[in-house]
Each structure stands twice: as structure tokens, then as C-alpha cells.
């Protein structure tokens, strides 16, 4: 061989190895001889389950998410599938998750539908019960192929058969498939057992952490202190709760008691933002029976209220047969958004994608919820999806599934909503083997801070399922959120007032957006959840009261995930006084800082609305330094405020009186920097309307 030819061969070899392998999974069913169907003629085990990437592998167990031919043990079945484009086929991969070895022939088809025999069985059945089978044709067709047909001969391998997926490749490198795991799972990630204070030898499942992270509700199974019928063993399940004490430790759990818990199976579904309302499984019928559905109970001075039915348009849930008891059971699971406007449900209805699917309903003006909307095929499979949890950002959804590739009977996944249709989601990410186990895993719950989660698991438990805490890592975290809540009252009598409150968020790259606010006008409370990464303006204004504005900088996370901001509004009446809270000066200076302009524009607006109003501006300092200089500094500051109102607002100077008190009349101690700060102020008093 010449050196020239040798170099050419080396070059060809390097290029061949450098070329990326093309792997295509079947994306359409062209023909099928038979398919298994259930009594509801659902998509379970039908031919479409063979499409796309594997749904069962690496578990390789019987599954409704695989194609199951319905032929006899002595005949043949076939399925013909297409691919998104034609490629030169050097390899065919078939995942036979149940009873492999019956594939008698494999045919390939080019774009003109010419048929090529790629494989012929010798009639020998395989000894394995499942396999990821790669077939390398002895004679490779010259033309690219875009369809494959499998012919199954039931005589070769009798009994039920299932095929998970089919793929083709233009290379001989083994076709492989990996679980879609979240990125950068920490090597030292561990599930932290909450210990024997919370957990017991009995089952603790379905933890629900309130958004503020201070209360943990969960369901306790067959515990001796569960409510039970006279003379019976503890077979029921009850709702329990634990509180976080000032030292950050969980208190000994308490049974939540009647009227929520009774001798039947009781379970919490989700909690409101303030933890004072619980949504619980089932409808409490007056007869004492529990019916499928959802109820709500609220904590009052007299204890928990009697659970009331949550109305959901056209609600129905189909039952599934329990393989252990052979009884048909209706299983439902729920999650509600922090503002209680969005309800996610795990239930089986007619025309589902198979077993339990996830649905969404939206709260209507009358308080009921809309017709359940299926979240679509990116999330839902032919197998069961359930235990949903919608994070405070209302975009990040955690759920468990037996129909997406995982490590056990069911794994926990995370997906993110991509638009407002609630049907477009990112491809679900498996949370990895540090969180998921070889058993059934589910029930994820996260506070508003988004830093950690609670879940139940049998791994390293004290008996049955225990509750564990997990530190969340970046790729599975929801957006960080901060809860803001408080009261809006009249400063003159401390009574609640119905005054509009507007919270506007803005960062360096977005225009202003309005934050959803939940109000209880009877109690005078408000609450909202604010995404971190924004600066917020809070505006309260209405007829008869001096408007008030506040600002919050959440460009970075706070130490606490909760802010308490109470607002006292001053009635527009003669003699009423208020401190201009958002008026800022540099130390020892009297030039008004730009951050103060919004506050002063508020004063201009009020004095414009009341053209005969006369006001008094009074200036104060702390007691540090020379008394005379402090009086002069306070005088200069109130004069600067008056000049701004006159020049920028067109307010007649005669309507504004000023007075300087310097360090006199302190409203706080002058002993620390923080208390002295309160004494440095400008007060605004209405002299005449």
C-alpha cells in the first residue's frame, strides 16, 4: 500500500469515528395487526405506546406505556412504524420489556416503500425475560430507510408480550438510552430524616409544608392515636401537624382532630399560603360517608371548621382496581397555588392518556373551579401521574410518574410551564437516584423560599414511610419567592379599611408588572408572593385617606422568606399628622435625594385634589452634635421640601407652613444608631381642608 493510500485510509477512519451517531426513535404507527385494549378503550398498551423514546426502560417491567399485541399464542402479529426522516440503517434497537424473543422477521422500507429483509429468526427463543436488543443487518440496504416492520410469531415465545420502543441508527455503536436526569446533582446530596420527634414506626406520608416553612402537615397511617371505631384496630389514616419552634426544631406532632379527622381515611391535600386553611381529600357527606372530591377547612378562634365541598365543574374520578384487595378504589390527589386560584389534580377521567393524569382547574368569580383541563402528553403518559405540587412561582410543577423512565415503581419529576395554555411544558426531569429510590416515591412539598423540600420515603426509615428533608439544587429549584402579608388599617381607630393596594415589580430587563394580591376586607389583611429578582413599589391610595407608598428591594433573596408589612392610613381630616417615610437626605445634608421624589409627588397629588388644604411641615433630627446646627439642618430640610412642592407641583407657598424642632420631641431613644434613625424625620400635618 502506498503512503498516499495509507494517509487516505487514516483520514477516512478518523472522519468516520468523528461523525456523530444518528439515532431515531419511531414517531408514527403506519400499520398494526392488533393491540391490547381495556374496558374504557384507553391508550393503555395500544400501538402508539411504542412511539418515542422508552417509557419503561430501564425498569423493564409490564407497563401500560408499552405496545402489547393481542394475538393468540399460535399466530403472528406485526407493527409497522415510521421515522421522522430516512437514514442508512446499520442498526435496529428493540426494547422488549416483557417476554422477548418472538420477533420472527424485521423489514425495512425506503421512501418508495420498497421492502428489505433486515432480520430472520432461526426459531430459537431467548432465555431472558426482558432485553434491550440491538440488531445489525447482514445485508445493509443501499437506500436510506424511513420505516421498520416487526413480525411477531407467538409460537416462538408464548404468552403476553410487550415492546417499549423501536429505534434505528446509521452507526454500529450500540444504541443506548439514559434517564433524563436533572443537571448537576450534588454528589453529597442526602435525604435528611426528620427524626423520631416527627416520624414513628408507623407510616408518615404526604408532607405539606406551608409557604412560610413553619407548619408541616402530613398523613399518619395506622397509628394507635388515630381516630378509630370502637372495638377496632387503628386502620384509618389521620392528618397530623408539627410546628417549627423558635430554635428551628420541629415540635411533637398533634392529631388535628375532629371535625377533620374521623374513623375513616383522612388526608390533607394542600395548604393555603398562611397555613390557616387546609384542602383535604374527599367530600364530607352528611351521612358520614366520604365521597371522591375535595373539601376546604379553615382555622377559626373555635378551631377547625367543618370541611366544605370545593365545587369543581363536571368533576368525576374513575376508580382503579387495587391488585392486593381486588377492590375498585378512587384515588385523587391535589395541589393548589399559593393564592388558591389554580388547582392541580391527579385523577383518572374518561379520555385520559391512560391511568391517572394531571389536570388543572382555575378559580372562578363565584369561588368554584373550572372544568378540569388535561395538562397534555408531555407530562401525562399511559401509566399513572400523581402527587402534584405547584411551587409558589406557579410555573414549576413537581409530580410523580410510573410512565416516565425512572428508578422504581414511580419517581418524582420536575417540569416547568412554558406558556399560559397550561399544555406546554418542559421535558420532565427525573430528580435522580439520590432522591428517587427503587420503590414508589412521591409527595414533594416546597416552601416559598424554594431552598429545600419535604418528601416521604421508605429508604432509611424507622419503620414504614418517614418524612425527609432535602436541600434543593439549582437545576430543580423553583424561582425564589418571598411572602408579603400584613394589615391595612385606619390609623385613627385601628379598624380595617377597604383601600386599593397595588404592588408593582420591576427589574433591569422588564417593564412593570402587577402582582396578584389576596385580600380579606373583613379582617383588613392582604398577602402576596413576590418573586426574587425585582424591585417592588407598594401603592395605597383611595378617597378619604392620605395615599401611602412603600418600596421593597428583592433583587436578592432575604434571610427570611416572609415579610410582614402593616400599613396605617391617615384619614384626610384636619389635625391628622403623618411621617414622610420615604423622604431621604444624605448625612448632615439637606438636598433631597432622588429616591424621595415619589413620596413628594404623592403630597403634590393630595394638595392638588384638595386646593384649599393648608399643611405644616415639621423637621426633626437626632441629638447627636450641636443643638443649634441640628435645628438649622432641620429647618433647611423642611424648606427644601416646601420649595420642591412649590416648584415641581405648583403649590402656592402660602399653603405650606414650616417649623424646625431639631433634636426636640424625639419619638424613639437616641441610644443606638437604629433608634436615632427614627428621630430624623419630617412630619406632615393637615392644618385646614
Please write the tens of the pLDDT for every residue from 308-349: 999 999 988 887 666 555 666 778 899 998 778 899 999 988
Q: What is the pLDDT of residues 272-288, one digit of tens each?
A: 876 788 999 999 988 88
The last residue of one of the domains, among 135, 169, 203, is 169
Least trusted range by pLDDT, from 315-324, 436-445, 464-473, 614-623: 315-324
In whole angstroms, what is the distance from residue 226 CA to residue 237 CA?
Answer: 7
More confident residue, 71 or 591: 591
Q: Is residue 183 domain-resident?
A: no
Q: What is the pLDDT of residues 12-49, one digit of tens each?
A: 444 444 458 999 999 999 999 999 988 777 899 999 99
Question: Taking the mean position of all CA atoms in its chain, how far away is CA 324?
Answer: 32
Residue, of 140 and 559, whose pLDDT is higher: 140
Q: What are the strands, taking DSSP E only, across 391-439?
A: 396-401, 411-416, 429-430
Q: What is the CATH number of the domain that holds 499?
A: 2.60.40.1120
- What is d(CA 369, CA 11) in angstroms, rounded to the nearest whole number? 66
Residue 184 is assigned to a structural domain of this protein: no
Share of the chain above pLDDT 70, in %: 94
Give the rounded distance of the alpha carbon of 72 from its chain centre: 46
User: How remote is the C-alpha of 3 from its chain's centroid?
Assistant: 64
Q: Where do the H-state alpha helices sit in 582-672? A: 597-609, 627-649
Q: Are 35 and 70 in contact (CB under 8 A)?
A: yes
> Is 49 strand, coil or helix?
helix
**SS3 of 501, please?**
strand
Whether residue 484 sits in one domain with residue 470:
no
Q: What is the model's pLDDT at position 3? A: 44
The answer to the question of residue 180 being in a domain is no
Query: Do 246 and 161 share a structural domain?
Result: no
CB 404 within 8 Å of CB 55: yes
383 and 65 Cβ atoms separated by less than 8 Å: yes
Residue 588's pLDDT band (cuts 50, 70, 90): confident
What residues contact residue 244 under an 8 Å CB cut-off, 6+ apart? Answer: 213, 214, 215, 216, 250, 251
Phi and psi, residue 442, nearest 5° = -175, -170
Beta-strand (E) ranges in 391-441?
396-401, 411-416, 429-430
Query: Where residue 231 falls among pLDDT bands split at 50, 70, 90?
Result: low
Q: How far is CA 626 from CA 119, 631, 634, 659, in A?
A: 100, 9, 12, 18
pTM of the predicted protein model: 0.79
Pick from 450, 476, 502: which residue ends a domain?
476
Determine the Cα–Cα distance for residues 339 and 359; give it in Å rounded to an integer: 18
pLDDT of residue 11: 37
Picking from 608, 633, 620, 618, the residue whose alpha carbon sits closest to that of residue 663 is 620
How far from 172 is each of 22, 101, 146, CA to CA, in Å?
Answer: 10, 21, 18
**In the prediction, which pLDDT does 550 show?**
86
6 found inside a domain:
no
Q: Tell whether 567 and 579 lie within a shared domain.
A: no
118 shares its domain with 227 = no
**Are 357 and 468 contained in the same domain?**
yes
**Both 247 and 338 in a single domain?**
yes
Distances in Å between the Cα of 180 and the Cα atoms of 57, 58, 406 are: 12, 12, 9
Residue among 296, 299, 298, 301 nearest 281 (CA): 296
Residues 255 and 156 in one domain: no
* pLDDT value, residue 324: 58
| In a shared domain, residues 490 and 454 | no
Beta-bridged to residue 363, according to DSSP, are 369
Residue 445 pLDDT > 80: yes
**Helix, strand, coil content of the chain in percent (nearest 5):** 10, 40, 50
8 pLDDT higher than 50 = no
390-435: per-residue pLDDT in tens? Answer: 988 889 999 999 999 999 889 999 999 999 999 999 999 999 999 9
Q: Does residue 567 share a domain with residue 578?
A: no
Q: Examine the pLDDT at 56 and tell me if it is beyond 90.
A: yes
Based on the domain organization, do 404 and 325 belong to the same domain?
yes
The string of DSSP codes covering 444-497 is: EE--TT-SEEEEEESTT-SSS-EEEEEE--GGG----EEEEEEEEEETTT--B-
Measured CA to CA, the distance from residue 329 to residue 318 in angstroms comes to 8
Parent domain of 551: 480-571
Residue 175: inside a domain: no
pLDDT of residue 18: 46
Q: 567 and 582 in one domain?
A: no
Q: Which three cell numbers stand for residue 389?
A: 405540587
Residue 69 domain-assigned (yes or no)? yes
Q: Of 446, 476, 506, at which residue does a domain stop? A: 476
> What is each CA distance from 540 to 106, 489, 550, 558, 641, in whole angstroms?
72, 11, 9, 24, 22
d(CA 195, CA 251): 11
Strand order in the sheet with 203-209: 203-209, 215-221, 237-243, 254-255
- 36: CB partners within 8 A, 6+ apart: 44, 45, 46, 68, 69, 70
Query: Does 52 fall in a domain?
Result: yes
CATH code for position 683: 3.30.1330.60
Whole-number Å distance between alpha carbons of 494 and 487: 10
What's the rounded Cα separation, in Å, for the pair 208 and 223?
19
pLDDT value at 510 more than 70: no
Confidence category of residue 559, pLDDT binned at 50, 70, 90: low
C-alpha grid cell for residue 512?
Answer: 412593570
Count of structural domains, the chain:
4
- For residue 427, count other CB atoms closer than 10 A to its CB: 12
Sorting pLDDT into bands at 50, 70 and 90, what band is 570? confident
Residue 648 resides in a domain:
yes
**DSSP β-ladder status, 518-520 and 534-542:** unpaired
How would you class 635 by CB atoms within 10 Å of its CB: exposed for 0-12, middle for 13-18, buried for 19 or more?
middle
Q: Are residues 532 and 596 in the same domain?
A: no
Among 206, 218, 214, 205, smallest CA distance to 253 is for 218
CATH code for the domain of 160: 2.60.120.260
The domain that holds 338 is classified in CATH as 2.120.10
What is the predicted pLDDT for the residue at 230?
Answer: 61
Amino acid at each position: 500500500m502506498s503512503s498516499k493510500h495509507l494517509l487516505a485510509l487514516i483520514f477516512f477512519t478518523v472522519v468516520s469515528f468523528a461523525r456523530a451517531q444518528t439515532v431515531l426513535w419511531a414517531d408514527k404507527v403506519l400499520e398494526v395487526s392488533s393491540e391490547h385494549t381495556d374496558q374504557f378503550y384507553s391508550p393503555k398498551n395500544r400501538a402508539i405506546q411504542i412511539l418515542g423514546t422508552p417509557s419503561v426502560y430501564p425498569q423493564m417491567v409490564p407497563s401500560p406505556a408499552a405496545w402489547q399485541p393481542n394475538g393468540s399464542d399460535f399466530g403472528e402479529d406485526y407493527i409497522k412504524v415510521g421515522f421522522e426522516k430516512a437514514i442508512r440503517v446499520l442498526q435496529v434497537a428493540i426494547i422488549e420489556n416483557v417476554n422477548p424473543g418472538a420477533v420472527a422477521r424485521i423489514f425495512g422500507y425506503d421512501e418508495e416503500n420498497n421492502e428489505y429483509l433486515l432480520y430472520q429468526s432461526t426459531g430459537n427463543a431467548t432465555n431472558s425475560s426482558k432485553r434491550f436488543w440491538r440488531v445489525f443487518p447482514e445485508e445493509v440496504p443501499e437506500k436510506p430507510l424511513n420505516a421498520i416492520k416487526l413480525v411477531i410469531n407467538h409460537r416462538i415465545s408464548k404468552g403476553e408480550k410487550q415492546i417499549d420502543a423501536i429505534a434505528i441508527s446509521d452507526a454500529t455503536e450500540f444504541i443506548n438510552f439514559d434517564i433524563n436526569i436533572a443537571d448537576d446533582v450534588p454528589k453529597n446530596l442526602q435525604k435528611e430524616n426528620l427524626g423520631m420527634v416527627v416520624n414513628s414506626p408507623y407510616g408518615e406520608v404526604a408532607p405539606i409544608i406551608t409557604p412560610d416553612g413553619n407548619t408541616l402537615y402530613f398523613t399518619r397511617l395506622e397509628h394507635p392515636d388515630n381516630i378509630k371505631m370502637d372495638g377496632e384496630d387503628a386502620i384509618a389514616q389521620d392528618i397530623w401537624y408539627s410546628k417549627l419552634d423558635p430554635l428551628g426544631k420541629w415540635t411533637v406532632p398533634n392529631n388535628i382532630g375532629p371535625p377533620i379527622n374521623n374513623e375513616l381515611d383522612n388526608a390533607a391535600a394542600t395548604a393555603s399560603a398562611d397555613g390557616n386553611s387546609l384542602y383535604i381529600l374527599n367530600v364530607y357527606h352528611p351521612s358520614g360517608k366520604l365521597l371522591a372530591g375535595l373539601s376546604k377547612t379553615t382555622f377559626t378562634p373555635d378551631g377547625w371548621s367543618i370541611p366544605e365541598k370545593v365545587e369543581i365543574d363536571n368533576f368525576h374520578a374513575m376508580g382503579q382496581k387495587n391488585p392486593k384487595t381486588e377492590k375498585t378504589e378512587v384515588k385523587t390527589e391535589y395541589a393548589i397555588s399559593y393564592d388558591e386560584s389554580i388547582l392541580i389534580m391527579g385523577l383518572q377521567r374518561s379520555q385520559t392518556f391512560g391511568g391517572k393524569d394531571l389536570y388543572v382547574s382555575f378559580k372562578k368569580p363565584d369561588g368554584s373551579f373550572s372544568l378540569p383541563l388535561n395538562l397534555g402528553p408531555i407530562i401525562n403518559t399511559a401509566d399513572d401521574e400523581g402527587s402534584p405540587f405547584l411551587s409558589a412561582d406557579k410555573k414549576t410543577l413537581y409530580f410523580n410518574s410510573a410512565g416516565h423512565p425512572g428508578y422504581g415503581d414511580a419517581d418524582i419529576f420536575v417540569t416547568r410551564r412554558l406558556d399560559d395554555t397550561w399544555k406546554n411544558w418542559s421535558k420532565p426531569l427525573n430528580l435522580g437516584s439520590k432522591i428517587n429510590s427503587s420503590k414508589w416515591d412521591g409527595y414533594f412539598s416546597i416552601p416559598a423560599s424554594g431552598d429545600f423540600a419535604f418528601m416521604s420515603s421508605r429508604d432509611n426509615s424507622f419503620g414504614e414511610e418517614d418524612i425527609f428533608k432535602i436541600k434543593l439544587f439549582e437545576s430543580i429549584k423553583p424561582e425564589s419567592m418571598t411572602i408579603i402579608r400584613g394589615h391595612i388599617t385606619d390609623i385613627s381607630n385601628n379598624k380595617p379599611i377597604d383601600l386599593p393596594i397595588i404592588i408593582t415589580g420591576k427589574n433591569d430587563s422588564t417593564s412593570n408588572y402587577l402582582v396578584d394580591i389576596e385580600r380579606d376586607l373583613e379582617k383588613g389583611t392582604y398577602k402576596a408572593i413576590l418573586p426574587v429578582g425585582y424591585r417592588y413599589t407598594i401603592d395605597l391610595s383611595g378617597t378619604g385617606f392620605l395615599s401611602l407608598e412603600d418600596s421593597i428591594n428583592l433583587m436578592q433573596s432575604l434571610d427570611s422568606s416572609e415579610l410582614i408589612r402593616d400599613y396605617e392610613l391617615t384619614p384626610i381630616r384636619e389635625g391628622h399628622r403623618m411621617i414622610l417615610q420615604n423622604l431621604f437626605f444624605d448625612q448632615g445634608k439637606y438636598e433631597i435625594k432622588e429616591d424621595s421624589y415619589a413620596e413628594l409627588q404623592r403630597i403634590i397629588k393630595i394638595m392638588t385634589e384638595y386646593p384649599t388644604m393648608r399643611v405644616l411641615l415639621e423637621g426633626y433630627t437626632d441629638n447627636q452634635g450641636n443643638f443649634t446646627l441640628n435645628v438649622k439642618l432641620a429647618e433647611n430640610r423642611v424648606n427644601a421640601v416646601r420649595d420642591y412642592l412649590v416648584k415641581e407641583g405648583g403649590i402656592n407657598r402660602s399653603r405650606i407652613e414650616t417649623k424646625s424642632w431639631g433634636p426636640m420631641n424625639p419619638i424613639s431613644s437616641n441610644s443606638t444608631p437604629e433608634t436615632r434613625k427614627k428621630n430624623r424625620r419630617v412630619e406632615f400635618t393637615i392644618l385646614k381642608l
